[in-house]
Structure 1
Amino acid sequence: MTTNGPRRTDAKARLRALTSDITALILDRNLLPGDPLPTEQELMAELGVGRNSLREAVKVLQALGIIDTRHGFGMFVAENTLSALHDSLSFRGQMSLRHRGHEAGELVDVRQALEVGLIGQAIGAVTEEHLLALEAAVVRMEQSAVEGDMFTDADRDFHRVLFEPLNNTLLTNLLGVFWEVYHSIHDVIGQAEPDKPTLLETAAAHRVILEAVRAKDIDQARVLLGEHFQGIRQLLARMHAEAK
């Protein structure tokens, strides 16, 4: 009879407890992003653990984006990049595309709920500087559409700037995840580049969203953003149908 199962479970439990102790230490000492942690020797003594156990826990916390280690300088509280969340959600979304795209569809649902739900606050905080940046992004889309060129970067910039007034790093990160998944959808299903009329329609759709924001018409902006996600839903539906 083997005892590998229980031993592995115990080891995982100890690792979880140690990572919890380290995060508690960070919170108890009110350490901020960029602040140094105690040295490895100090942590070993304070937490009562060996070097190997501590380093294993630090690796876990690095992967979670909580701790940053700098060779020759030590350990620090990681900056608020939320890169671990970005990588995890992006991976899950891309993996789901190999399995009928269910999680990718859920990500679209979340993004739509966020954008439609928060556009009112974004409009309330928008400044003339934001409006100028949005106008510049739309102009880039329109110029590219006339030439029959894709305008992925301008589209990404438009949605980033649209919610920039909220100063919400998590929302910005989630929007970045969406773009990773969006491009993966095109790669997986072999979607051809949109034709010129489609590009012109997409650019025009962004123009009317901008005009609603400029007019501070929250209800109209919500309707337009809700409609904006139909294209990606159609791609997912097509992929799902072809997988049957």
Structure 2
Amino acid sequence: MAERAWQLVLERIERDLLDARLGPGDRLPSERELSAELGVGRSSVREAFRVLEVMGLIRTATGSGPSSGAIVIAAPSGGLSALMRLQVAAQGFPLTDVVQTRLVLEDAVAASLASADVRDTAAAHDILDAMDADDLTAAEFLALDAHLHLALARSSGNAVIAAMMAGLRTAIESYVLAGSQQIDDWDAMTVRLRAEHRDIVAAIDQGDAGAARTLVRDHITGYYTAAGLTSGAHP
């Protein structure tokens, strides 16, 4: 049992995610609570958390304040996207290449979703609401930000684009988080990003493909520039 204790924790959390008892923005029980409930050591809980974080399902933060612990940032997806995230993290693609590819993919997502006869943005709206919480750290906010863009890609119905976005997600989170440290007024930036996200989703909901494409491009390049990540590049 000892060798597989972390899997017990993993199965419990994944089951809660699959059954929608947990969703993006929710916090997991503490290590102490899960350890007592499942009868496993806290080291097993930490191991399960590490696996879930690598899979892109949760984001953990150390400390003892209200922002510590683990927050859910995604629902379980197929093994392909998890594998691609690991590949991207290992390869370390150049930032400019990541941004240029992201612009191409997200332009296609915005156009496809806005032009569709049926536009399912329910998951995106759930994440928008989760991002309104005022106790999110920068890392948690930006993890939800990345998941919002991934949720839109999945909603587009193009499995290849969705998998590619999932594969880029680690690289995207890495550069946007690094950029956040260069922004003097992070609170003002979160207000701006929330508004931009809602404008993008609203344009999609209204079927305005042109506006959605312009908004998503301005959103990506705007943050890239505000965070001082241009370095002479032209995304």
TM-score (norm 1): 0.51
* Equivalent in the alignment of 2:190: 199
* Equivalent in the alignment of 1:183: 173
Conservation of the 8 A alpha-carbon contact between 2:121 and 2:155: no
Deviation at 1:154, TM superposition (A): 2.8
Provide the C-alpha distance between the structure 2 equivalents of 1:190 and 1:218, rounded to a whole number of angstroms: 29
Structure 1: stretches of 5+ with no match in the other structure: 1-78, 97-102
State how 1:124-143 maps to structure 2 within 5 Å: 124-125=115-116, 127=118, 130-143=120-133
* Equivalent in the alignment of 2:80: 81
Report the structure number with the largest CA radius of gyration: 1
State how 1:38-187 maps to structure 2 within 5 Å: 81=80, 85-92=84-91, 94=92, 103-125=94-116, 127=118, 130-144=120-134, 147=135, 149-150=137-138, 151-185=141-175
Provide the C-alpha distance between the structure 1 equivalents of 2:166 and 2:228, rounded to a whole number of angstroms: 19
Conservation of the 8 A alpha-carbon contact between 2:110 and 2:209: yes
Provide the C-alpha distance between the structure 2 equivalents of 1:104 and 1:206, rounded to a whole number of angstroms: 22
Provide the C-alpha distance between the structure 2 equivalents of 1:188 and 1:153, rounded to a whole number of angstroms: 12
Alpha carbons of structure 1 residues 164 and 236: separation in structure 2 relative to 1, 3 Å: same
Alpha carbons of structure 1 residues 209 and 166: separation in structure 2 relative to 1, 3 Å: closer
Is 1:232 the counterpart of 2:224 in the alignment?
yes
- Which residue, out of 204, 209, 225, partners 1:213? 204
Alpha carbons of structure 1 residues 205 and 126: separation in structure 2 relative to 1, 3 Å: farther
Deviation at 1:235, TM superposition (A): 4.0
Deviation at 1:207, TM superposition (A): 0.7
Provide the C-alpha distance between the structure 1 equivalents of 2:170 and 2:210, rounded to a whole number of angstroms: 29
Provide the C-alpha distance between the structure 1 equivalents of 2:180 and 2:118, rounded to a whole number of angstroms: 40
Alpha carbons of structure 1 residues 148 and 87: separation in structure 2 relative to 1, 3 Å: closer
Q: Percent identity?
A: 16
Give the root-mean-square deviation of aligned CA atoms. Answer: 3.1
Conservation of the 8 A alpha-carbon contact between 1:82 and 1:170: no
Conservation of the 8 A alpha-carbon contact between 2:142 and 2:176: no
Q: Deviations over 1:96-149 (max 9, x none)?
A: 5xxxxxx22111101111111332222233746x333222211222233xx464
Deviation at 1:211, TM superposition (A): 1.0
SS in 1 for 2:149: helix
Deviation at 1:188, TM superposition (A): 6.0
